[in-house]
Structures are given as C-alpha cells and as structure tokens.
Structure 1
Amino acid sequence: MVNTPVRLAGFGLGLVAVFGAALGLGRAAGPDARPSPAAHGADQHGADQHGAEPAGSTKIPGGLQVAQDGYRLAPLTDALSSTGAQPFRFRIIGPAEETVTAFTTTHERELHLIVVRRDLTGYQHLHPQRAANGTWEVRLAVAAPGGYRVFADFQPAGRDEPLTLGVDVPAPGDYQPRQLPGPGFVSTVDGYTVTLDGDVTPGEESQLTATVSRDGAPVAGLEPYLGALGHLVALRDGDLAYLHVHPEAGKLAFTVEFPSPGTYRLFLEFKHGGTVRTAEFTLTTEHGEPGHTHG
C-alpha cells in the first residue's frame, strides 16, 4: 500500500505565487488554435527533462506557450474529431517566419506529439510524418469531446536544446469532464501492475523507480521503446505544465524535477510482447515537504 505524506496543501496560493506569470503566458498564447504572431519566451533548458528557464528567473516548464525563442507551433487543423480518425496537420514556424524542415532526432524521432484532454484524460503519444515542405500530419481521433492540449516536443536542427510548445485545440460535442483520480503509486493496465517508488520534493530533482509485474511476478524482458525501457510524461493539473523525462540506461529509473507544489498526472509508457502500454498515476506534492512512496 502506498504511504506518502505529500498532499495538495495551499496549492492555489503556491502555484499563483510561483507560476502565475507562466500560467498567464500559457493562457495568452495557448488557447487559440489558429496560428498567431510569434511570442518570444524563455530559453529551453535541460536535455532529458524539457523545460524553460529565463535568465535570472524561476524555471518555466515546457508546454505553456505556443511560441518560444522565435519558434511557433502553427496548427493547420482547427478541430479534433471524436467520431473517427481525421488528419491533424501543423507546422513549426522558425525565427524568420519560415517553415522549419530540418530537425535533430531525439529519442528515435524528429518530433513527438502528445495529445491530452484538459481534464487529463485521453492521453496519446503520436509520431506524425513530415512532408518535404515541413507540414506534419497524423491521423488522430480523440475519445470524447472537450478541450485538448496538443504538445509538440522537438529539437530544430542547429539548436542545442529541445523545445516543447503547446496549443489548445477543441473537439466539438457534449463535453463531460471527469474528476481526476486520487493520488496513488500503483496502476494496472491490461493485466500488468506498475508501481512507482521514490522521494518527491517540489523544486528539487526527485528519483522515481518503476517496477512492472503480472500475476504477482516481475515482468522480464521489457522491450526498448524510443531507445529506452520506458517513457514518462508528467502534466501539472490546472495549466498542464509539461515535464518529459527518460529513464537511466537499462532501467525504469527516472530523475524528474516537479517545479511546484500541486497535483500532477503521470503517464508511463512501456513495451512488452510487442505492445506499448500506458500506466497512469496521480501525484500530489506539498511545498517544502518531501514525500516518500512505497510500492
């Protein structure tokens, strides 16, 4: 049974005080699904965890802005479909207002596309195809109507560090929001049980280790996925600040820095038997107080 003292305490005040500016930027740049004029943000910071850090200020997580450092995520599709797969198309616009056509491969792909509803349901990790003119396209269907956040995780050629840009795209229909599941460090998916263990302190690097079992026994032979044994994305409830981390070589051990107190939804992808599965967790952190999890 999970035992953790981390709780959602004073989250509203802490998040507003520490990240009010970042949330304001995300709302100003993100909700409009149409391409907008470039809005310069802060330098992206970190190779395995994608975030941004303005000079002399607090880190701003990735995904809160549609434009940063002259790069802009420009959707060419203005709505998603919940009734069947439809092409979703977009471009990355560069500092000179040109369509970017050259990218550095990161984790075996030129670009990773993350799609999730704003209530943190319906998570998808996709790999679009890029045409020679720089237009990206992927067939995409979402499970239910609502507002969705689309994240593009990429590294332009010639840039030392990756970027994560985000934009809101609606899926028309009758929106029925779901309540976020309570905190827990055990997740089941397709008969697999995935357990997280580690210490979590907001604002500091935290170590999380995942174990995968089935029928009460550890699963042997996890297969590489995107060049590693697992793939972890964490999204902060409320503004959907984006944290993208990868494990140590040959392990399901992650180093991640949760930027603020609050509630996060974690999506851990792993591959076994030729199939990629996603285990989902809810984690809460409290300002200045470490939490320990035991699976």
Structure 2
Amino acid sequence: MHTGVKITAFAAALAATFGTAYGVGKGVDPVVGPVVAPAAHGGHAAAPDAAAAASGPGGLQVSEAGYTLALEPSALTAGAPGELRFAITDAHGRKVTAYEREHGKELHLILASRDLTVYRHLHPARGADGTWSAPVELPKAGDYRAFADFTPAGPAGAKGLTLGADLAVAGAYRPAALPAPSRVAEVDGYRVELRGTPVPGRPSELTLRVTRDGAPVTDLQPYLGAYGHLVALRAGDLAYLHVHPHEGPAGPEVSFTATAPSSGAYRLFLDFRHEGKVRTAAFTVHAH
C-alpha cells in the first residue's frame, strides 16, 4: 500500500476521492526517524489539486493508463487454503516486471468481500516473469474485489495506480448486511475507538485510539513504514482509498486526514502492529 482511517487510494489520483495524506509515522524497522510523505500517486492520499480531483476514486477500473490487472483463473473455495495469481500487463499485453517500491513493497494487494464483512491485506510475491502470487484462505463464499496498488517503474513522478478486479469464491453463499455503524472495534483483546467523521468534499480529521485492558497502547510498531494504515471502501461500488497517518508518537492515537468523495456509507479498516503481530480493526461510518 503507499502514504499520509497509507484506512492505498483515493489520493493524488484520488485526493478527490477519500483522502489527503500529510505524512507517515516512523520508518520500517528499525525506526530511524520520521519518514517524509512521498509524492502523491495512484489511490494514495496527497495534497489535492485539479488533476487529482478529476481522476476520481481508485479501484473502480480494471484498466487505467495502459495498465491492466489480469487475474489468472483460480478455484478459491471458502474455508480452504488457496492461491491467488495475477499480473499487471501493459498496453501491449506484456507482464510488468519493474515497479517503484512504496513502503517496502513493489505492490500492495487488498481483498474485500462485496458485502464488506471480509478484508485481507496481502503481500504477494512476484516471479521473474511478472506473475504475482499470494496464499489466501477466505472464510466465506461470495463475490470479492481484488485491489492492486502500485507504481510502474518509469520517469520521476510516475503515476501510481490502484486497479480493481472481481473475484468469485465458491461455496454456500448468504449475503450479509453492512455491519451497523460503530465507534468502537474489538480485536484480539484490543479496543480501538474512532473519533471524527468523514465529510464529503472536505478534509476531516480521523483519530483512532488503541487500548488494551483499559490501558493505552504507547508502543505500536512500524508496519510498512507507518504506525497505522487505513483503507476506506465505499459501500455499493467499493471505491477505494488508502492513506497513512500523520507523523506522531507510537500510540495510543493515530491520526489521518481524509476527504470523502461523496456522502454515504463507508467501511474503514485500520491495520496496526503490536508485539510483532498485525491486527485489523473495522468500522462502518456514514459521510454526511
């Protein structure tokens, strides 16, 4: 995923969509000091401008700027280990093998169910021929959306992209309603409280406070160059935003600036790392 609930992408290409990032926390282990937010790209948040506003939300298109997210046929079954394989192809159908690294990775992959009840942030491996693969086990059948967040290698200032493609998972399927709005998420004994509300068309502050057993967590660990990653998915079409937090201490609060592209319901997913393990806290919010 890229910079700034980096909750990768409405940003430079998507600042008009859901976010405006101002910086990241600290560098990837070992912590060596503040990380300066890179130039905006793809669906990552950055300072808004006219071009960004015109580009729209990320993840809604399978092809953009001559690049395509090509999922290979897969037989994923709910509750069973599987493998997802895909490639990014250029305008000539060739698999892309050269990428800029963003937060320690050439490409970030997000999977989310259409009903927004399942979310996975995966780290695929790239083969020499440009084919990416990632092991995955999804708990329920149904329709999913895969998001690839990357910047092709090229001249300085190359545009980052977030492409999306549909994925079906076999099994008995019962659609679920969008989880009810909540300001508190519980995960593995951690309590994460969300403060702030996204506002359509205007930057707003979102702060997430992490506690465990009633005590504030003040020793969050860097994960991909930041103390938290926030991905926002709009209910209905799964328009995608990924931003990173403002520079700050290692908890208990992690803050982001985000601009919702429209009114409506959003599902926010905060990834944070503590005691060597990454956990995800999820919230449903309404931008209004």
Tell which structure's C-alpha radius of gyration is larger: 1
| From 258, 262, 265, the counterpart of 2:264 | 262
Q: Deviations over 1:233-282 (max 9, x none)?
A: 00000000001110012351111111000000000010111111000000
Q: Which amino acid aligns with 1:94?
A: D
The answer to whether 1:104 aligns with 2:106 is no
Q: 1:59 to 1:189 in 2, by over 3 A?
A: same
1:102 and 1:54 mapped to 2: Cα distance?
29
**Between Structure 1 and Structure 2, how many residues are aligned?**
244
- Asked if structure 1 preserves the Cα contact closer than 8 Å seen for 2:198 and 2:286, the reply is no
Q: 1:250 to 1:161 in 2, by over 3 A?
A: farther
1:215 alignment partner in structure 2 = 213
TM-score by structure 2 length?
Answer: 0.79
2:273 alignment partner in structure 1 = 271
- Asked if structure 2 preserves the Cα contact closer than 8 Å seen for 1:71 and 1:92, the reply is yes
Choose between structure 1 and 2 for higher RCO, CA contacts under 8 A separated by at least 6 residues: 2
More displaced stretch, 60-69 vs 154-163? 154-163
2:198 and 2:143 mapped to 1: Cα distance?
30
- 1:200 is paired with a residue whose SS is coil
Gaps of 5+ in 2: 1-16, 18-39
CA RMSD, 1 decimal = 2.3
- Asked if structure 2 preserves the Cα contact closer than 8 Å seen for 1:81 and 1:140, the reply is no
Matches within 5 A, 1:216-255: 216-251=214-249, 252-255=254-257
- 1:119 is paired with a residue whose SS is coil
Deviation, structure 1 residue 148: 0.5
- Asked if structure 2 preserves the Cα contact closer than 8 Å seen for 1:45 and 1:53, the reply is no
Q: 1:133 to 1:182 in 2, by over 3 A?
A: same
Deviation, structure 1 residue 171: 0.6
Matches within 5 A, 1:60-209: 60-158=56-154, 160-209=158-207
- Asked if structure 1 preserves the Cα contact closer than 8 Å seen for 2:45 and 2:243, the reply is yes
More displaced stretch, 268-277 vs 181-190? 181-190
1:45 and 1:168 mapped to 2: Cα distance?
23
Q: Which amino acid aligns with 1:108?
A: G
Comparing both structures, which one devotes a greater share of its residues to helix? 1
Deviation, structure 1 residue 56: 9.7
Q: Deviations over 1:17-68 (max 9, x none)?
A: xxxxx9xxxxxxxxxxxxxxxxxxxxx9567428x99959744100000000
Gaps of 5+ in 1: 1-21, 23-43, 287-295
Deviation, structure 1 residue 185: 1.6
Deviation, structure 1 residue 198: 2.4
Q: Which amino acid aligns with 1:276?
A: V
Identity among equivalent pairs (%): 51
More displaced stretch, 144-153 vs 211-220? 211-220
Q: Which amino acid aligns with 1:186?
A: V
Q: 1:171 to 1:203 in 2, by over 3 A?
A: same
Q: Deviations over 1:81-135 (max 9, x none)?
A: 2132122110000123221000111111111110011000110000100001100
1:114 and 1:56 mapped to 2: Cα distance?
22
- Asked if structure 2 preserves the Cα contact closer than 8 Å seen for 1:79 and 1:169, the reply is no
1:217 and 1:77 mapped to 2: Cα distance?
47
Q: Which amino acid aligns with 1:180?
A: L
Q: 1:156 to 1:215 in 2, by over 3 A?
A: same
Q: 1:178 to 1:107 in 2, by over 3 A?
A: same
- Asked if structure 1 preserves the Cα contact closer than 8 Å seen for 2:43 and 2:162, the reply is no
- 1:61 is paired with a residue whose SS is coil
TM-score by structure 1 length?
Answer: 0.77
Deviation, structure 1 residue 200: 2.7
